[in-house]
Structure 1
Amino acid sequence: MSTQEEALKAVHAALERERRINLHQHPIEMQFENDDLVLAGEVGNIAAKKLALELAAAAPGVGGIVDRLRVVPAERMGDGAILDHVRDALLQEPELSICDIRVWEKGHEETIRETTVELACVIQISVADGVVTLDGQVDSWGRKRMAGALAWWVPGTRDVVNALEILPPEEDSDDEVTNAIQFLLEKDPFVNESQIRVTTRNYVVTLEGEVAKEKEKEMAEADAWFVFGVDKVVNRLQVQA
């Protein structure tokens, strides 16, 4: 058996063991392109996507990962509808009010909002096959993460490529991740953030506290996964009896 065949076998076994990845309902295609392992297919949720990528990258013999995984959307939408929803969400977010908002559609760019703030951030939105891409620049990790999470919140979104650059460069940290998740939980109308404690260590997020319903527990975890840079979420939230 070749090294790559052994790697494929090891990755498949690791994916089978992870309870949040259902290969029977959502098969994942795997093949090597040179030394890089390509993962493709549609997975059940963002947790399954990120965990699959992490497990594959950790397997011996895998030089790099090419991510072609997509998430089953909560609602099937055309690219135009997704673009409109993402655009509106970014326009309505006060934290992004200093940002120019531009959309790329049908081969041309349109400026939706142009600010007068010096050194204002610029966010360009494009959508292809349900995948939202955010290009441009922002001035903080918080704004980068907020823009990405809002794009994930659109029901038709299958993936988010957050290519926003931080200018001027700013060091990232666990505290930045924690702050972004707390802010997102505050915005989520389905979550009571006052009952949830968030801690981050080496980009692994832990949620603790009490929630009223199982659905709220699931929504809080999803919000944490939506945040750029999160590698793992440990959900210790308890559902009130």
Structure 2
Amino acid sequence: MNDKILRQSIVDELDFEPSIDAANIGVAVDNGIVTLTGHVGSYTERLAAEKAARKVRGVRGVVEEIKVRFAGEAPPRDEDLARRAVQMLDWSVSVPPNAIQVKVQDGWVTLTGEVAWQYQKEEAQAALKRLSGVAGIINMIEVKPAASATDVRAKIEAALKRNAEVEADAIKVTVKDAKVTLEGKVHAWHERNLVENAAWSAPGVRSVVDHLTLT
């Protein structure tokens, strides 16, 4: 698929997605790499635009440069937004109490702290992404190592073999210092995401390096 056709497919997908007002989103494609520019009304809409672009067949990567502009009322003060963010984290049953610290500057929320599982890191961010006034979230929460490298690799490989959509024998998993490196070949972007999700699902994983190639 050439870049011109791919760009039109992405524009159509953005227009099709009901949660996105695509009127102010620009799309450029260069050798399968998509750059999204322009502005939207919320952080949730910004995430939705990136997700929609990634769904289109032929996309090799996405550079997301969309800005959040709040219409109507002025956005909340940083201190008010920080207070509401802390409350949202306190209400989340998936986030350990007092484990996360919140910093807000110009509407951007930075999360720091330590948790035991990757899903807790993701849930902390998910709890805040719909919060009114958030321009963006920087998730710097660390996941504590909770298992040996051998155990982590075995759990990831077992998860890959259970998934019917993944050719597990084509994937090489290496674990060192709680960092997982994925190598091998996959046939589609969604398959790549499945492999990454399997890696993140293992306890104690702190980072995932994706060296998978699309065939």
**TM-score normalised by L of structure 2:** 0.51
Corresponding residue of 2:56: 59
- Determine whether 1:148 maps to 2:125: yes
**Structure 1: segments with no counterpart, 5+ residues:** 100-122, 174-201, 204-241
Does the 8 Å CA contact 2:3/2:31 hold for their aligned counterparts? Answer: no
User: How large is the RMSD of aligned CA atoms in angstroms?
Assistant: 3.9
- Determine whether 1:132 maps to 2:131: no
- Determine whether 1:3 maps to 2:2: yes
Does the 8 Å CA contact 1:4/1:61 hold for their aligned counterparts? Answer: no
1:28, CA displacement in angstroms? Answer: 1.0
Distance 1:13 1:91 in 2: 39
In the TM superposition, 1:111-122 aligns within 5 A as none
- Determine whether 1:160 maps to 2:160: no
1:44, CA displacement in angstroms? Answer: 4.7
Corresponding residue of 1:83: 82
The count of corresponding residues between Structure 1 and Structure 2 is 149
Corresponding residue of 1:230: none
In the TM superposition, 1:100-119 aligns within 5 A as none
Distance 1:89 1:58 in 2: 30
Letter in 2 for 1:36: I
Other structure's SS at 1:37 match: strand
Does the 8 Å CA contact 1:137/1:165 hold for their aligned counterparts? Answer: yes
Corresponding residue of 2:33: 36
- Please give the per-residue CA displacement for 1:21-68, whole angstroms capped at 9, x wherever unaligned: 2223xx212235776322234435566444422331233553211233
Identity of aligned residues (%): 24
Corresponding residue of 2:11: 12
- Please give the per-residue CA displacement for 1:111-146, whole angstroms capped at 9, x wherever unaligned: xxxxxxxxxxxx343334322222343112453244
Distance 2:131 2:142 in 1: 22
Structure 1 residues 47 and 158 mapped into 2: Cα distance closer, same or farther (>3 Å)? closer
Letter in 2 for 1:28: I
Other structure's SS at 1:137 match: strand
Other structure's SS at 1:96 match: coil
- Please give the per-residue CA displacement for 1:74-132, whole angstroms capped at 9, x wherever unaligned: 87123343233324544676853252xxxxxxxxxxxxxxxxxxxxxxx3433343222
Structure 1 residues 128 and 69 mapped into 2: Cα distance closer, same or farther (>3 Å)? farther
Most deviating of 15-24 and 70-79: 70-79
Letter in 2 for 1:4: D
**TM-score normalised by L of structure 1:** 0.46
Distance 1:126 1:166 in 2: 19
Structure 1 residues 163 and 30 mapped into 2: Cα distance closer, same or farther (>3 Å)? farther
Letter in 1 for 2:37: A
Structure 1 residues 3 and 127 mapped into 2: Cα distance closer, same or farther (>3 Å)? farther
